[in-house]
Amino acid sequence: MLPTIARENDTVVMIDQRKLPAEEVYVRCKTAAEVARAIKTMVIRGAPAIGVAAAMGIALGTGKSTATGTQKFAAEFYRICELMAATRPTAVNLFWAIERMKRSFGAAAEAGESVDQIKDRLDREADAIHDEDVASCRAIGAFGAAVVPAQATILTHCNAGALATAGYGTALGVIRGAVEAGKRVTVLADETRPFLQGARLTAWELLRDGIETTVITDNMAGAIMRTSRIDLVVVGADRIAANGDTANKIGTYTVAVLAREHGIPFYVAAPLSTIDLATPDGTHIPIEERNAREVTHLRGNRLTPAGALIRNPAFDVTPHHLIAGIITERGIFRAPYTESLKRAFESAAAVGS
Residue 178: phi, psi to the nearest 5? Answer: -65, -40
The C-alpha atoms of residue 156 and residue 252 are separated, in whole angstroms, by 9
Span of 25-33, 141-149, 231-239, 319-327 interacting with ligand MRU by CB under 6 A: 231-239
Tell me: does residue 236 bind ligand MRU (CB under 6 A).
yes
Which helix (H) or strand (E) segment holds residue 256: the answer is helix 252-261
What's the Rg (C-alpha) of the chain?
A: 20
238 among known catalytic residues: yes
Residue nearer to ligand MRU on the CB measure, 118 or 174 = 174
| Among the listed residues 237, 240, 275, 344, the single contact to ligand MRU using CB under 6 A | 237
The C-alpha atoms of residue 280 and residue 231 are separated, in whole angstroms, by 31
Span of 42-50, 65-73, 76-84, 256-264 interacting with ligand MRU by CB under 6 A: 42-50
Site residues (CB under 6 A) for ligand MRU, limited to 61-120: 91
Q: Quick one: which of 324, 344, 335, 352 has its CA closest to 144? A: 324
- Exposed (0-12), middle (13-18) or buried (19+): which is 26, by Cβ within 10 Å? middle
Residue nearer to ligand MRU on the CB measure, 108 or 268 = 268
Which residue is nearest to ligand MRU, using beta carbons?
236
Q: Is the distance from CB of 258 to CB of 111 less than 8 angstroms?
A: no
Residue at 43: amino acid letter: V
Tell me: does residue 282 bind ligand MRU (CB under 6 A).
no
Residue nearer to ligand MRU on the CB measure, 45 or 320 = 45
Binding to ligand MRU by CB under 6 A, coded x per residue (else -) over 135-164, reads -----------------------x-x---x
Which helix (H) or strand (E) segment holds residue 107: the answer is helix 92-110
Tell me: does residue 165 bind ligand MRU (CB under 6 A).
yes
**Eight-state DSSP code of residue 326:** E
Tell me: does residue 238 bind ligand MRU (CB under 6 A).
yes
Q: Given CA atoms 129, 98, 89, 343 in this order, what sign does their dihedral have?
A: positive
State the minimum distance, in angstroms, from the CB of residue 254 to ligand MRU.
Answer: 14
State the minimum distance, in angstroms, from the CB of residue 160 to ligand MRU.
Answer: 4
Catalytic hit among 133, 190, 238, 316 = 238
Tell me: does residue 45 bind ligand MRU (CB under 6 A).
yes
State the minimum distance, in angstroms, from the CB of residue 150 to ligand MRU.
Answer: 25
Residue nearer to ligand MRU on the CB measure, 61 or 271 = 271
Tell me: does residue 4 bind ligand MRU (CB under 6 A).
no
Q: Is the distance from CB of 267 to CB of 236 less than 8 angstroms?
A: no
DSSP class per residue in 156-207: E-S--SGGGSSSS-SHHHHHHHHHHTT-EEEEEEE--TTTTIIIIIIHHHHH
Q: Quick one: which of 100, 84, 3, 102 has its CA closest to 38? A: 84
Binding-site residue total for ligand MRU (CB under 6 A)?
17
Tell me: does residue 189 bind ligand MRU (CB under 6 A).
no
For residue 37, count other CB atoms closer than 10 A to its CB: 16
Q: List residues with catalytic annotation.
A: 238
Where along the sequence are the contacts to ligand MRU (CB under 6 A)? 45-48, 91, 158, 160, 164-165, 170, 197, 236-238, 248-249, 314
